[in-house]
Amino acid sequence: MSDNNASVAFLLFEKPRHKQSSAAFDDGNNMGVHVVRDVLERAGVRVGYCTPETAKHFRVVLVSFTSKHDVIELYRRVSKRADWQRPRSFVAIGGGSGMQNPVAIRNLLDMAVFGRSEAFVAELVVSTLDAKPFEHPSVMHLPDVSDVEIAQAPCLYPNRIIGPDKRHIGGWSEASIGCKNKCMFCHYAFTRKTLAGNSWNDSGNTESTLLDLVNAGATRLRSSIKGQLVTALDGTSERLRCLFGKPIKAHHVTALIELLADAGVGHIVKLFNIGNFPTESKSDWDELRDCCLAANPRAHVRIAVQTTPFQPEPLTPMQWEAVRLFPNLKRMEQSPIARTGNVEVFHGRYVQGPMPQLSSALVARATPQTDAAFAALCMSSKLRAMGSEQGVRALLKSFDLSPVTREYEIGEQLPTWFLRSYTPTHKIERMAQRMRARPEYANSKG
Ligand code: SF4
């Protein structure tokens, strides 16, 4: 093996300028980085950390992408640097759950790794250090774009990770992978094989499905909830939720509010939600308000609804759907949804406006034709000085972004044509066809 003492480093953006970026991973939030580091160190490869400026002192630079905004952050930080242009003095390898489409940064990386890499990342890095070729179905050699499969973990990560910050990482152990629910918009569920039970009943943690909570009952809830209760609604009306694979009825929302009061855990609850879904209209939001108002809890219940705009995630049955940038969900931030007696339901903080939504879509549906728009999005100070709505309108006026925002026919080739997951493509297509054929979808499209 090569003398690889501190020849490998994770790229660290010391101070991410944008809060959506999670590339600063020294706080233990990005467990993927710590798993990869652990695998490499167990294989005898010492791993350091570098910045965009110090990357040139290493032979292999690993770049972690936990979200699409990390793709933007990398471009902002290194695309103008001479030492990051080809031919580079180091090999840049990107991976992580945010690695869905590397096209926008194909000149800044040499390899893109898709999915869970613990089974082959040590061989990949050692081969690279030894200047030997490495081929794997889940590795794309850039700048060429070729078919890849999302890699699966062979098992739950078996080792205890002792990281640089023991306070956060020392007690971590992987409890589950994947999700049995298969909501139609969920990239995670369609790209990660389920490896262990992950229901509330198994883990007893405070992040649970809303139906599990309702079914659990007040006594179980009272004894199990620690700290803030977090759950997900993922659709403002029964129609939207049932259409997109989350069978939460309106009466379940009412029941949850009353149950939280009975269990004495209604003081601080976060309810994740998705907005600007295909076919969504004001009447869907009215239903959410009405089912909150229908609740009559015995004690005060305070719920923050945290809405994120819908993204047509690759490899899901909703990947062919359109991106709806308006209405601007940011305008709802911290406003009330329902307020009466003991019920207080309101929009939370940090709701994404149309610009972060378009940014994510521009990464997810990047093609060489969107390079100029992507560069403007990342680098234009004029654009950044504009508000979210104004910036989006300026981008849409300057570039043809219809391939990024438009609805596709099911089966039509998408910008992410190169991705495959463990879920067969024909199954994903069939689910999408059934969804679009349902009257709740077709009739609402007018
Ligand atoms: S969104 Fe649905 S499929 Fe995805 S993890 Fe949550 S419950 Fe599971």
8-state DSSP, 140: E
Residue 34 falls within a domain, yes or no?
Answer: yes
Residue 270 falls within a domain, yes or no?
Answer: yes
9 C-alpha to center of ligand 1: Å? 33
The CB of 386 under 6 Å from ligand 1? The reply is no
Query: Which SS3 state, helix, strand or coil, does residue 22 take?
Result: coil
* Domain identity same for 138 and 221: no
The CB of 182 under 6 Å from ligand 1? The reply is yes
* Domain identity same for 251 and 125: no
The CB of 186 under 6 Å from ligand 1? The reply is yes
Looking at every residue in the chain, the average pLDDT score rounds to 89
236 C-alpha to center of ligand 1: Å? 16
Per-residue pLDDT, 11: 93
8-state DSSP, 249: -
* Domain identity same for 120 and 209: no
Per-residue pLDDT, 32: 87
180 C-alpha to center of ligand 1: Å? 8
Per-residue pLDDT, 29: 61
190 C-alpha to center of ligand 1: Å? 10
8-state DSSP, 150: -
Per-residue pLDDT, 169: 61
Q: Which of 176, 180, 181 to mutate to test the pocket of ligand 1 (most atoms within 8 A of CB)?
A: 181
Q: Is 164 left (phi over 0), alpha (psi -120 to 50) or beta?
A: alpha
Residue 169 falls within a domain, yes or no?
Answer: no
- Quickly state the pLDDT bin for 15 (edges 50, 70, 90): low
Per-residue pLDDT, 140: 98
187 C-alpha to center of ligand 1: Å? 9
Per-residue pLDDT, 405: 98
Per-residue pLDDT, 34: 86
The tens digit of pLDDT for each residue in 150-204 reads 999 999 998 887 655 555 565 677 888 998 889 999 999 999 999 875 443 333 3
**Region of poorest pLDDT, from 118-122, 130-134, 205-209:** 205-209
Per-residue pLDDT, 173: 79
Nearest CA to ligand 1 atom 4: 186
* Domain identity same for 119 and 206: no
* Domain identity same for 132 and 273: no
* 48 or 371: which leads in pLDDT: 371
338 C-alpha to center of ligand 1: Å? 26
Q: What is the CATH number of the domain that holds 63?
A: 3.40.50.280
Residue 20 falls within a domain, yes or no?
Answer: yes
The CB of 247 under 6 Å from ligand 1? The reply is no
Round to whole Å and give the CA distance between 41 and 37: 6
- Quickly state the pLDDT bin for 384 (edges 50, 70, 90): confident
- Predicted TM-score of the model (pTM): 0.91
Round to whole Å and give the CA distance between 324 and 392: 12
Residue 351 falls within a domain, yes or no?
Answer: yes
Nearest CA to ligand 1 atom 5: 179
On the question of pLDDT at 335 being above 90, the answer is yes
* Of 171, 153, 104, nearest in space to 378 by CA: 104
Domain span at residue 111? 8-149
* Residue where one domain finishes, among candidates 115, 149, 183: 149
Residue 158 falls within a domain, yes or no?
Answer: no
- Quickly state the pLDDT bin for 330 (edges 50, 70, 90): very high
416 CA to centre of own chain: 16
* Residue where one domain finishes, among candidates 149, 183, 216: 149
* Domain identity same for 281 and 347: yes
* Residue where one domain finishes, among candidates 114, 149, 184: 149
The CB of 209 under 6 Å from ligand 1? The reply is yes
Round to whole Å and give the CA distance between 138 and 31: 20
**Contact partners, residue 10, CB within 8 Å, separation at least 6:** 25, 33, 37, 47, 48, 49, 50, 61, 62, 63, 64
Ligand 1 atom showing the smallest separation from residue 232 Cα: 6
* Of 43, 40, 41, 13, nearest in space to 25 by CA: 13
Q: Which of 186, 192, 211, 431 to mutate to test the pocket of ligand 1 (most atoms within 8 A of CB)?
A: 186
70 C-alpha to center of ligand 1: Å? 22
The tens digit of pLDDT for each residue in 263-319 reads 888 777 889 999 999 999 999 999 999 999 999 999 999 999 999 999 999 999 999
Residue 82 falls within a domain, yes or no?
Answer: yes
Nearest CA to ligand 1 atom 7: 181
Helix (H), strand (E) at residue 68: helix 68-78
182 C-alpha to center of ligand 1: Å? 6
* Domain identity same for 187 and 266: yes
Q: What tokens were used for 208?
A: 């649970």
CA angle, 368 then 374 then 376, to 5°? 130
* Domain identity same for 339 and 435: yes
* Domain identity same for 112 and 66: yes
* Domain identity same for 71 and 194: no
* Domain identity same for 252 and 363: yes
Overall domain count for the chain: 2
The tens digit of pLDDT for each residue in 190-202 reads 999 998 754 433 3
* 304 or 20: which leads in pLDDT: 304
The CB of 274 under 6 Å from ligand 1? The reply is no
The CB of 188 under 6 Å from ligand 1? The reply is yes
The CB of 352 under 6 Å from ligand 1? The reply is no
* 419 or 196: which leads in pLDDT: 419
Residue 229 falls within a domain, yes or no?
Answer: yes
**Region of poorest pLDDT, from 27-31, 201-205, 248-252, 276-280:** 201-205
302 C-alpha to center of ligand 1: Å? 24
* Domain identity same for 47 and 133: yes
Residues 125-153, mean pLDDT to the nearest whole number: 97
The CB of 150 under 6 Å from ligand 1? The reply is no
Q: Which of 176, 177, 179 to mutate to test the pocket of ligand 1 (most atoms within 8 A of CB)?
A: 179
- Quickly state the pLDDT bin for 25 (edges 50, 70, 90): low
The CB of 215 under 6 Å from ligand 1? The reply is no
Per-residue pLDDT, 172: 73
